[in-house]
Amino acid sequence: MQPCNSRAGKTVPQGSGYLAYVPAKLPPRIDFDGEMIRLLSDADIALGRLAGITEILPNPDLFVAMYVRKEAVLSSQIEGIQCTLDEVLEAEVDDEGARTKDIAEVVNYVGAMNYGMERLATLPLSLRLIRETHSRLMEGVRGEHKAPGEFRKTQNWIGPQGSTLINAAFVPPPVPEMHEALADLEQFLHDRYSMPVSIQCAVTHLQFETIHPFLDGNGRVGRLLVPLMLHQRDVMAKPLLYISHYLKANRHEYYDRLMDVRVNGNWEGWVKFFLTGVAAVGHEAADTAKRIVQFRTEAQQAAVKMGKPELALIDHLFKHPIMDARTAEKLLGVTYATANNALSNLENAGFVVETTGKKRNRMFRFQGYLQLFDDTPSKAPAIYDSEKQTGYQHGADEPVEEDRPQP
């Protein structure tokens, strides 16, 4: 990492000959120009629209479950975890089946999100809640031996595979400075007056990624902080804003803007990028929610003409959009033959698609519903001079975390 000293922090020489980055205290001074004000307004409108639609959904918990799964898949993909939404849903059907490591990590993300949201009822957003959520995220998966739920006690760094502290792309603060920065971050989490909550989410995410307090899972926890903060501030009752949708679509710019703050102190560029994403995914989620309500009405109307098992099965498919006949049998409380016949009727009507090609143990996909979550995420419009140098060059993939004891 190159020497730097900006209003966001500075690099500090360490005894072993490398430079570590120590972030400045929060909150930063954010300069508001006309564009910033407009983007903040757009983000707030999108959040308000999404929160309002959530209130009128007939059964919001069914839809929230899909949004959480989608966020889990996308946030994990940013970290190089290759798993699709369908694979996660199929794993839920076969609870006792063997799961790949990637699927297990995404399932853990869903559990961590749900745990964090529930825990906010009894514990404010704090370092303790962050540690507990991290513990859930890393339980039984890759990284489970890297002190889940505990802040690191050694120096880590970010860079291509095989890099060292000397040539790393970024070296977070040493352990003593890390604890100081975490204490400052916790105080900032409780600050309700220094800046609008959307901008506070942007600052919190970046500062957490800069501190990099865990030996693994920092990116996913940092993105989890956004819906948790919005929920604590009563902006969003449900975690329907999946910012990873936007960050994955603009992944290279995402990393560039993080480093632009650290190297050049360009808080404004990062905040504008983040607010643009909040507005984009907020409106996309609201539009999807509207389409879900319309699709549900149409599906129920069609199922009524088929029979009671088909109508009941439509409702269950919103919670279990990939299903086999055994699962349908249990959910409906009918015979296997009746459940299988109901699935076949829905298949003939075009609501589900058989995905295995088998005559036995067939799996069905709630096609029309899942297609609502398959849209390509929006790309970010240009916000500032694309030729501005950030002092950081990423490769084709995001930097790989290399966590090693300090030499």
Specify whether 197 is located in the same domain as 334. no
Contact 392, 255 (CB under 8 A): yes
The residue range of the domain holding 88 is: 5-287
Q: What is the CATH number of the domain that holds 330?
A: 1.10.10.10
Give the residues across from 370 on adjacent strands: none
The residue out of 230, 256, 287 marking a domain boundary is 287
The residue out of 245, 260, 287 marking a domain boundary is 287
CA dihedral 153, 158, 162, 165 (to 10 degrees): -60
* Distance, CA of 181 to chain centre: 23
Specify whether 277 is located in the same domain as 230. yes
Specify whether 243 is located in the same domain as 310. no
* Distance, CA of 36 to chain centre: 24
Please name the amino acid found at residue 334: V
Specify whether 230 is located in the same domain as 320. no
Is 296 a domain residue?
no
Specify whether 181 is located in the same domain as 60. yes
Residue 301: count other Cβ atoms within 10 Å of its Cβ. 11
Sign of CA dihedral 121, 123, 127, 128: negative
Residue 405, classed as helix, strand or coil, is coil
Specify whether 341 is located in the same domain as 272. no
Give the whole-angstrom CA distance, residue 93 versus residue 370: 16
Specify whether 342 is located in the same domain as 249. no
Specify whether 203 is located in the same domain as 342. no
Specify whether 211 is located in the same domain as 103. yes
The residue out of 257, 287, 317 marking a domain boundary is 287
Tens digits of pLDDT across the chain (407 residues): 789 999 999 999 998 899 999 999 999 999 999 999 999 999 999 999 999 887 777 777 777 888 888 888 888 888 888 888 888 888 888 765 556 888 888 889 999 999 999 999 999 999 999 999 999 999 988 777 889 999 999 999 998 888 999 999 999 999 999 999 999 999 999 999 999 999 999 999 999 999 999 999 999 999 999 999 999 999 998 888 889 989 999 999 999 999 999 999 999 999 999 999 999 999 998 998 888 888 989 999 999 999 999 999 999 999 899 999 999 999 999 999 999 999 999 999 999 999 887 777 789 999 999 998 875 444 444 333 322 333 333 332 334 444 443 43
Give the whole-angstrom CA distance, residue 47 versus residue 240: 10
Is 382 a domain residue?
no
Is 393 a domain residue?
no
* Distinct helix (H) and strand (E) counts, the chain: 15, 8
Token pair for 180? 């100081």
- Within 8 A by CB and 6+ apart from 386, the residues are none
Q: How many domains does the chain have?
A: 2
For strand 9-13 and strand 5-6, is the pairing parallel, antiparallel, or unpaired?
Answer: antiparallel
Specify whether 24 is located in the same domain as 126. yes
- Give long-range contacts, CB 8 A cutoff, 24+ apart: 293-296: 293/56, 293/57, 293/58, 295/368, 295/369, 295/372, 296/58
Q: What is the CATH number of the domain that holds 99?
A: 1.10.3290.10
Is 199 a domain residue?
yes
Specify whether 283 is located in the same domain as 309. no
Specify whether 167 is located in the same domain as 313. no
Give the residues across from 363 on adjacent strands: 324
Terminal CA-to-CA distance of the chain, rounded, Å?
Answer: 17
Helices in 79-100 by DSSP H: which ranges? 85-93
Is 294 a domain residue?
no
Is 97 a domain residue?
yes
- pTM of the predicted model, to two decimals? 0.87
Is 396 a domain residue?
no
Is 112 a domain residue?
yes
